[in-house]
Amino acid sequence: MKYVKEPDAWLEARKTAADNLERQLGDLKSLFGTPRWRRNTFVGVSLAVIGVIGLWGVGFYSPELIQEALKNASPQQQSNVKAMGTLLQDVGALLGMLAFTYVATRMGRRIAFAGAFVFCWVIVSGVFLTLTEAWHAYVMLPVLGFATLSLFGGYSIYFPELYPARLRSTGTGFCYNVGRVLAAMVILFKIPIREAFAQAGFTQVFRAVSVVLASVYLLGLIVLIWAPETRGKPLPTDEDA
């Protein structure tokens, strides 16, 4: 570790924190202390909430989707398809995060997020509406993983770029982890939504609820109205606030 040099921006932030109580390192209050950091925190948390709802509320339910689609198949066949489908979904997830990184680097963060949100909505809705056979899982689940996990590659790039050095790790962690907590609370509404669809006479309640939850991705396009573009720009400092 002695060969790893501390960034100059961090050394300067640490020096400033020693002399200025209003610019302390990792100060949670500072995330909301100025309009710029407050807006960036709103954007970061909102983006995280949307991605986690889509993944936890729908994307990770592919085994249940397979079970419903293959309800007339043997338990062994269902198990085999679930195992292979999950593996392929994970491979797609890796490729999706790499693809997001490429697009964000070449075309910008906002364009990458906008494209990913639309792609997620189309793919998640399409998969949960049309997957009915085993071979569908082998074709569709890699694309599902590609779409739903691509956003998480974006978070690791974008969130640190929203804050100055003294708040960078705190802001990144706050956006992602608060986003997860809020998303978990929202997903609880999946139960009353499912009951409402059942009472309304829907025969494919699981699929219908999944498509409804997938629409959360479209809200991401609204959040991007306030999201700053960070591609090609220097990392922010407190003087920029």
Tell me the C-alpha distance between 127 and 130, whole Å.
5
DSSP state letter for 236:
P
pLDDT per residue as tens digits for the range 181-227: 999 998 888 888 888 888 888 888 889 999 999 999 999 999 999 99
Domains and CATH numbers, the chain: 35-229 (1.20.1250.20)
C-alpha Rg value of the chain to the nearest Å: 21
pLDDT per residue as tens digits for the range 83-139: 999 999 999 999 999 999 999 999 999 999 999 999 999 999 999 999 999 999 999
Amino acid of residue 75 = P
